[in-house]
Amino acid sequence: MNYVEALVAQASDLEDGQMKQVSVGKTEVLLARTGGKFYAVGAFCSHYGAPLAKGVMSGERVVCPWHNACFSLVSGDQIEPPGLDALARYEVRLEGENVIVRVPEETSGLRTPDMAAHNPDADGRVFVVLGAGAAGSAAVEMLRQTGFEGRIVMLTQEARLPYDRTRLSKDYFIGKVSPEKMPLRTPEFYQEHQIEVLCNQKVVRVNIGAKTIDFEDGTTLAYDSLLLASGGKPRRLPVEGAELKNVFTLRNFEDTNRILAAARGASRAVVVGSSFIGMEA
């Protein structure tokens, strides 16, 4: 691997508790000083790419200015969501008063956290996660990150891999992103880390005593541990007419597509609710 290094600052440029964005070749780097030491990590949040230098530094942590994802400045690990990947960590050294950072020539500024491999000989347990939203997706990844070597199965009744549901009322709604860009992870990611994602699976019964899950198609899945992360559904108005043709709630791709189809050629729209989704709509 080839590397690039650059003199990015003088030691006196940053006091303890300060950070700034610097450039090393074509790579943007977040340089921080804490506990008398300098650290260098990727400059942008792994969620939506916010510049972390505009966030808040607290001890060995930096908090994203947009959605409060939190990262370790020492390791680059994500401490709090909603990001997915960790930040890349770069080598820093002092030569006298010169602060020098060394980075690979090709780096995205992010890295996938280390994960255990599936090893059924070492761990024959089956961990099932019912739901493929933010909680379910985070859970299956954290299981691998914390060393779980058993079988992991994530169930969703949707036809798609886990995706960023919040974008349905944002850039997908206005046509700025295609459905292909919505998944949180690629199929190859789940294959590499041996996380089974079973789509189009409607669960009709969970037998806690027998530790089995029954599906609508008549099949059954046995488990050792089960996490229920099925999320919630929009609350429909308890009024007459709430089930009429042009009254919608927003939960998934199909809901968004129906709203967009109804909006074509429409002259008036009413949004009930004034919180985030309502304001975005």
Q: What CATH number does residue 97 fall under?
A: 2.102.10.10
Residue 76 located in a structural domain: yes
The length of the chain is 281
Residue 118 located in a structural domain: no
Q: Return d(Cα 134, Cα 161) in angstroms, integer.
A: 12
Residue 21 located in a structural domain: yes
Whether the pLDDT of residue 275 is over 90: the answer is: no
The per-residue pLDDT for 159 is 95
Residue 145 located in a structural domain: yes
The per-residue pLDDT for 274 is 86
Tell me the mean pLDDT in the region 166-171.
90
Together in a domain, 157 and 221: yes
pLDDT bucket at 259, cuts 50 / 70 / 90: very high
Residue 42 located in a structural domain: yes
Together in a domain, 165 and 213: yes
The per-residue pLDDT for 130 is 98
Together in a domain, 52 and 103: yes
Together in a domain, 74 and 166: no
Residue 116 located in a structural domain: no
Share of the chain above pLDDT 90, in %: 87
- Which range marks the domain in which residue 23 is found? 3-111
Together in a domain, 221 and 256: no
Together in a domain, 72 and 23: yes
The per-residue pLDDT for 261 is 93
Residue 119 located in a structural domain: no
Query: Which stretch of 15-29, 91-105, 125-139, 163-177 has the lowest confidence by average pLDDT?
Result: 163-177
Together in a domain, 102 and 194: no
The per-residue pLDDT for 279 is 83
Number of structural domains in the chain: 3
Together in a domain, 40 and 94: yes
pLDDT bucket at 142, cuts 50 / 70 / 90: very high
**What predicted TM-score, i.e. pTM, was given to this entire model?**
0.89
The per-residue pLDDT for 265 is 85
Of residues 143 and 232, the one with the higher pLDDT is 143
Together in a domain, 85 and 16: yes
Tell me the mean pLDDT in the region 242-269.
91
Q: Return d(Cα 87, Cα 214) in angstroms, integer.
A: 40
Whether the pLDDT of residue 281 is over 80: the answer is: no
Residue 233 located in a structural domain: no
Together in a domain, 174 and 223: yes
pLDDT digits (tens, 9 = 90+) for 185-217: 999 999 999 999 999 999 999 999 999 999 999
The per-residue pLDDT for 202 is 96
Q: What CATH number does residue 189 fall under?
A: 3.50.50.60
Together in a domain, 88 and 139: no
Tell me the mean pLDDT in the region 127-146.
97
Together in a domain, 35 and 77: yes
